[in-house]
A and B are shown apart, each in its own frame.
Chain A
Amino acid sequence: MTEKRIKIGLVGCGQIADAHLQQIRRIPWAEPVAVCDLEPLLARQAAERFDVPGQFASIEEMLEVSRPDVVHITTPVESHRPLAKLLLDAGVHVYVEKPFTVDADEARDVLDCARRNDRLLCLGHDQLFDPTWLECRERIEAGEIGDVQHVESVLGYPLHGPFGTQVIANPDHWVRRLPGGLFQNTISHPLYRVTEFLSDDQPELQATWFSRFKQISFPTELRAHLRGEDVTGSLLFTSSTKPCHRMTRIYGTNGALEVDLNSQLIRADRVDRYPGAFAKIEAPWRRVCESSANLAQNVRRFCKGELHYFEGMKQTFLRFYEAILEGDEGPVSYDEILRVTEIMDRIFAECRKGDSERSEIKRRTRQTMSGTQTKKHSADNPEGLVAELSAGNGSQTV
């Protein structure tokens, strides 16, 4: 029997590449063989810190020399389509960091390319494989909250963290050039936590974006509502609150579950069993019991060394690599990749529409205001009034 082994390359040695390399290193049979970046110094630092033998500034050279089975793409999203197609055409499997592509047209193109080349492609919807999320899914599937009715997803964004500060400081930053700006880079996480439960291809949607900070010229807040046939959803992206939540609340016909990915906790809301004032004792008591169980579970996981921020990423990699070796389907379906990208496009289009409607209203208000001002001015000014009247008279005679 041959030894289980998979060779991995990575393109784009920025911040998220560190997380990828760290998680790849946790899989004993996965071997990072090469890193590649147009900026050789970035490739060098990644190779040195993660002990990767190959470092390249050209993908073609990396493919030829290091011969990886899979390549992870961790570059800015604008380059995802050309890079993914180049790699798939070259016959390697591809893992793409979110967001998938600039828009859904590009997404279709890349997915077609994967099908054509019979290579697997996986998108980093990694929070779906986070142990806490998986546990929550299991509990819902076991019927704990009845039928899902509504899903609320929250993402708190550290705008003044290391990445956000770069986006703020640099007007040419690639994030600022995206159709969905800051949101396009991260919103897929809270969104796919909603679409997990919302099966419609084209849910109705309303969305708006705005900024909470006077000195920042691009929108930093986004709100969206989705309405599907059976389930509705809402999405809150905020840069102005703390802590930076990564939370989803799922409401069912018989209770609700709240998943807090940061603290790796699940909290349940149940229907009260006791009437009136007794329920006010029962509810906090239930919270105490639940918190004790959560504490015990996290202590156990801490002792076993299982509390990793990017555990979901490792689990996604594992499933993807296994699918490659066994010729199965990847962990994230192509339909889901496309659907999330399409919904994102629609959210951004809706926000932009709102922007132009608002500026149109402003423009009209300004016009009306200046109109009244002229009128007022002319009323204050008898000469102007006379001129206006005589003009009116003139037109009558004509």
Chain B
Amino acid sequence: MGTRTGNRAMQVLLTGATGFLGRRVLRQLLDEGCAVRCAVRPGSDVQSLRDFVGLRRWSRAETVNVQLANPEQCEGLVQDCDVVYHAAAALSGSASNLVMNSVVPTRNLMNAASEQGVGRFVLVSSLGIYGSQELRRNSLLDEKCPIDPAGHLRDPYTYSKILQEEVAREISQESGLPMVVVRPGVIFGDERGAMSHRVGLQLGGLLLRMGGGQRVPFTYVENCAEAVKLAGFKEGIDGQVFNVVDDDLPTGRQVLRKYRKAGRKFRVIGIPQVATNWLARFNEWYSERTEQQIPAVLTRYRVQAMWKPLQYSNSRAKEMLGWHPSTSFDEAFEKTMASGA
């Protein structure tokens, strides 16, 4: 596809531009010379986005205030766009809120994109959507693994991402809208450190380290943004899915060690891998016995999906997107720490 169509710069629509990942995608797209239309909400912080990308780049960006939950507003939005990058999503809140802010906008935007004949729809999904509880320990998780068939048993965010991809796939198949899906692992970087749930769970002032020997599928936010950008440019990848994780992934224990070395203090209780299952079993039992006085946040199903030791592959993204995670984990971690995240 490249970054030019005929004589004009590629026109793209980007959602979620004010977000952690989206603002980096925007900066990289502008550096490629694209004209970027950013769909923002009436309350979005556009000022800080402008400061982030810098005034020089900003001249090729425009912002449009829309409610993506409103199908009519989506129609005009995608007009004349060669590519739609859809990175907007809610990351927390109730399941209904997540569906309204992630799945419904995806459906509306894709319907509009297919009607307007958009050349490609790039969906930012998540690595969390795989049914990894079905995989054996230490086996390879790649794009061939099936999506979790019982998303409602996962946490509300993951459920919304599973539903999002399902709906997206249906629309793409029915309407013929070319779609490329990017599934990033745990994104970290300047505003957001590497202390993911996949390392451990925060309980008041305590950190419950879950397992510790398993690799955490990190991707540095700049690396990830580059993969997302490329997913809109490369020829011949319509219909493809790309897992995006960096090279040399650290284990949860190694991440904590790095944090300590950087002078951060935690009170950690290490829960060995086998015990994570017992803990989940107890949580399920207690929750059922007390009619959810404490909800079953930790279930065996979720433990298996989140903390099982697995191998992760990024070879498809490297081969087909020509992507290379240019910042190594160590370097990215240092930058992140230096930013105070």
Which A residues form the contact surface with B (CB < 8 A)?
13-15, 17-18, 22, 26, 39, 41-42, 44-46, 48-49, 162, 165-166, 168-172, 302, 304-308
B22-57: contact bitstring with A at CB < 8 Å (1 yes, 0 no)?
A: 000000000000000000011110000000000000
Among candidates B160, B290, B292, residue contacting A22 with C-beta atoms closer than 8 Å: B292
Residues of chain A contacted by B289 (CB below 8 angstroms): 305
Q: How far is the CA of A255 from the CA of B20 in the complex (A)?
A: 55
B140 within 8 A of A: no
Interface-side segment among B96-104, B181-189, B307-315, B317-325 = B96-104
Q: How far is the CB of B98 from chain A (nearest CB, A)?
A: 8
The answer to whether A18 and B96 have CB atoms under 8 Å apart is: yes
Given contacts A41-B104, A41-B107, A170-B41, contact A13 B96 (CB under 8 A): yes
Residues of chain B contacted by A169 (CB below 8 angstroms): 41-44
Given contacts A15-B96, A39-B104, A45-B95, contact A168 B43 (CB under 8 A): yes
Interface-central residue, B44, B96, B97, B293, by most chain A CB under 10 Å: B96
The answer to whether B293 and A42 have CB atoms under 8 Å apart is: no
The answer to whether A307 and B293 have CB atoms under 8 Å apart is: yes
B135 within 8 A of A: no
Residues of chain B contacted by A302 (CB below 8 angstroms): 293
Give the A-B contact count at a CB cut-off of 8 A: 67
Among candidates A22, A42, A306, residue contacting B99 with C-beta atoms closer than 8 Å: A42
The answer to whether A45 and B96 have CB atoms under 8 Å apart is: yes
The answer to whether A306 and B293 have CB atoms under 8 Å apart is: yes
Additional A-B contact list (5), CB under 8 Å, known A14-B97, A170-B67 = A41-B103, A45-B160, A170-B43, A172-B67, A308-B291
Residues of chain A contacted by B96 (CB below 8 angstroms): 13-15, 17-18, 42, 45-46
Q: 11 A-B residue contacts at CB 8 Å?
A: A14-B94, A14-B96, A26-B291, A41-B163, A48-B152, A49-B95, A165-B43, A166-B97, A169-B42, A305-B289, A308-B293
B167 within 8 A of A: yes
Q: How far is the CA of A28 from the CA of B130 in the complex (A)?
A: 34
The answer to whether B290 and A305 have CB atoms under 8 Å apart is: yes
B326 within 8 A of A: no
Residues of chain A contacted by B107 (CB below 8 angstroms): 41
Q: Which residue of B lies closest to A14 (CB)?
A: B96
Residues of chain B contacted by A308 (CB below 8 angstroms): 291-293
Residues of chain A contacted by B220 (CB below 8 angstroms): none
Interface-central residue, B97, B160, B293, by most chain A CB under 10 Å: B293
Among candidates B67, B97, B103, B292, residue contacting A15 with C-beta atoms closer than 8 Å: B97
Q: How far is the CB of B165 from chain A (nearest CB, A)?
A: 13
The answer to whether B42 and A171 have CB atoms under 8 Å apart is: yes
B128-165: contact bitstring with A at CB < 8 Å (1 yes, 0 no)?
A: 00000000000000000000000110000001100100
Residues of chain A contacted by B291 (CB below 8 angstroms): 26, 305, 308
5 nearest A-B pairs in the assembled complex, by CB-CB distance? A305-B290, A169-B43, A162-B93, A48-B152, A15-B94
Among candidates A17, A45, A170, residue contacting B163 with C-beta atoms closer than 8 Å: A45
Chain B residues 71-104 with CB under 8 Å of chain A are: 92-97, 99-100, 103-104
Q: How far is the CB of B56 from chain A (nearest CB, A)?
A: 28
Q: How far is the CB of A263 from chain B (nearest CB, A)?
A: 15
The answer to whether B100 and A305 have CB atoms under 8 Å apart is: no
Residues of chain B contacted by A44 (CB below 8 angstroms): 163
Given contacts A169-B43, A170-B42, contact A18 B104 (CB under 8 A): no
B276-301: contact bitstring with A at CB < 8 Å (1 yes, 0 no)?
A: 00000000000001111100000000
Interface-central residue, A42, A306, A307, by most chain B CB under 10 Å: A42
Residues of chain A contacted by B100 (CB below 8 angstroms): 39, 42
Residues of chain A contacted by B167 (CB below 8 angstroms): 41
Residues of chain A contacted by B67 (CB below 8 angstroms): 170, 172
Q: How far is the CA of A170 from the CA of B42 in the complex (A)?
A: 6
Residues of chain A contacted by B95 (CB below 8 angstroms): 18, 45, 49
Given contacts A172-B67, A305-B289, contact A45 B99 (CB under 8 A): yes
Q: Which residue of A lies closest to B289 (CB)?
A: A305
Q: How far is the CA of A165 from the CA of B92 in the complex (A)?
A: 12
Among candidates A18, A22, A49, A162, residue contacting B92 with C-beta atoms closer than 8 Å: A162
Q: How far is the CB of B221 from chain A (nearest CB, A)?
A: 23
The answer to whether B152 and A45 have CB atoms under 8 Å apart is: yes
Q: How far is the CB of A218 from chain B (nearest CB, A)?
A: 13
Q: How far is the CA of A26 from the CA of B99 in the complex (A)?
A: 25
Q: How far is the CA of A13 from the CA of B103 in the complex (A)?
A: 15
Q: How far is the CB of B54 from chain A (nearest CB, A)?
A: 25
Q: How far is the CA of A15 from the CA of B163 in the complex (A)?
A: 18
Residues of chain A contacted by B41 (CB below 8 angstroms): 169-170
Q: Which residue of A lies closest to B97 (CB)?
A: A162
Residues of chain B contacted by A45 (CB below 8 angstroms): 95-96, 99, 152, 159-160, 163
Residues of chain A contacted by B97 (CB below 8 angstroms): 14-15, 162, 166
B165-196: contact bitstring with A at CB < 8 Å (1 yes, 0 no)?
A: 00100000000000000000000000000000
Q: How far is the CA of A375 from the CA of B152 in the complex (A)?
A: 73
